[in-house]
Amino acid sequence: MVKRRPAAARHRARPPAANDLFRGVGTEDALDQRIDGRPENRSPTACHANNMPNLFDIVTKRLLEAWRSDEAGDRRQGYRCRCGRPVYFLNSVCLACGAELGFQPELREVHALEPVANGDRRRLDDPALDDREWRRCANLATAAGCNWLVAAEETTPFCISCRLNRTIPDLTDPENGELWRKIENAKRRVVAQLLRLGLPVKSKVNEDVEHGIMFDFLRSPPGAPRVLTGHDQGLITLNVEEADDPTREQIRKEMREPYRTLLGHFRHEIGHYYWDRLIAETAWLDKFRELFGDEREDYAAALQRNYEQGPPPDWPDRHITSYASVHPWEDWAETWAHYLHVVDSLDTALRFGLRGEDVEAAVEPFSIDDLYDPAADDAQQVILLVNSWLQLTTVLNELARSMGQHDFYPFVMSRPVLRKMHFIQMVVKDARENSADRARAAPPAAATAAASG
């Protein structure tokens, strides 16, 4: 819940730069209501899942608190060990006090753990928060070093993220272990974000063979064609070479890309998967075509044209990257990846206490009329998010240049791209709310019908 301050104090607290962020945003009280996610008319019987804060709501709520806060204290909201030291998403042990740490996938947070009397069971050290028993993921002991927890009653030894793997690299080759570790670190970050956004994440290997996700991490065999990174009906293939920094940098240069990372690959490929799940054969398809173009355009011919002629010169007016101009499917996947980049990076910035006053920069903010649907319920949140992102990245790019590094965010977000990002936000929100509806539906048959409708 946003702590309400007297209106005068709020206005005084907000710096001039922040004022611009609210251009066209409407009354602050209306914004409070929206971001608290508790509209007056919500039924008291509404399913718990529907009220669970999702990543988008958490980030925009924190943004609002950060822009408004005039207190210097208690700004750091990163994960903390029981000893008080900050801990990070990938930590499995506290470096200060030696406590075991684990990522609890339902709370989606790293917590200190206590051993339960015997064997491999663990509990969070805060039983008021969660008093169930957990095991560590079997991949903690492997090169992947996975710090996630598996509910004690589950039959699989692997966590939600690791059970998505169908093929991992051959670990008898010592080099593969190091590459695989980088791959799993990036993958867990993406999976955690998908869970926090309330999106479905089930393993195609053993949980949902028809609609799930699975990964093949492959090396190109000597003398054979190169393994291609891509997506096909829930199977995401990643060429393990992409985890090798010099190799990936070489490819980035050849492809003239400003940005190429493992995280970016995962976010892009999973975007194709969610297009199949959330757009194909849904009510969103016609709207998708209006905004991104007709995906029935010959895909192979589009790739060939891009290979021979390069992107159209005016691609920055319509797309976030030049590759997005190849085909509507690639435009969707690139824009989807950007949506995930923005929400995750802002979330991290806010966890570490970066706030409005720290980030004054001359940027021309977007207004609500620039959105895909200015009348959408969450239009105010989206504008707050995007304008905060523009300010933050302006500063981070300057910081990177001060260190002689590549820009932190080497992209320009045009108005058409903002419209596409807002469309994606609406699709994600719809998916989350529909899955909560399905969870409420009593007979399994009804849930199945809704899922395929």
Q: What residue ranges bind Zn ion (CB under 5 A)? A: 81, 83, 85, 94, 96-97, 99, 137, 139, 146, 148, 159, 162, 330, 333
What are the DSSP E strand ranges found in 125-266?
134-136, 149-151, 165-167, 214-218, 230-232, 235-239
Nearest distance from C-beta of residue 106 to Zn ion, angstroms: 15
Total residues belonging to the chain: 453
Nearest distance from C-beta of residue 179 to Zn ion, angstroms: 17
Nearer to Zn ion, 99 or 186 (CB): 99
Nearer to Zn ion, 92 or 380 (CB): 92
Report which DSSP code applies to 220.
Answer: P
Nearer to Zn ion, 94 or 243 (CB): 94
Nearer to Zn ion, 72 or 300 (CB): 300
Nearest distance from C-beta of residue 171 to Zn ion, angstroms: 15
SS3 string, 349-405, reads HHHCCCCHHHCCCCCCCCCHHHCCCCCCCCHHHHHHHHHHHHHHHHHHHHHHHHCCC
* Alpha-carbon span 441 to 453, nearest angstrom: 15
Nearer to Zn ion, 97 or 449 (CB): 97
Using the Cα atoms of residue 10, residue 11, residue 15 and residue 21 in order, give the sign of their dihedral: positive
Q: Of 87, 81, 70, 61, which is closest to residue 346 (Cα–Cα)?
A: 61
Nearest distance from C-beta of residue 159 to Zn ion, angstroms: 3
Nearest distance from C-beta of residue 161 to Zn ion, angstroms: 5
Q: Decide if 325 contacts 307 (C-beta within 8 A).
A: no
**With left for phi above 0 and alpha for psi between -120 and 50, is residue 45 left, alpha or beta?**
alpha
Nearer to Zn ion, 183 or 333 (CB): 333
Nearest distance from C-beta of residue 162 to Zn ion, angstroms: 3
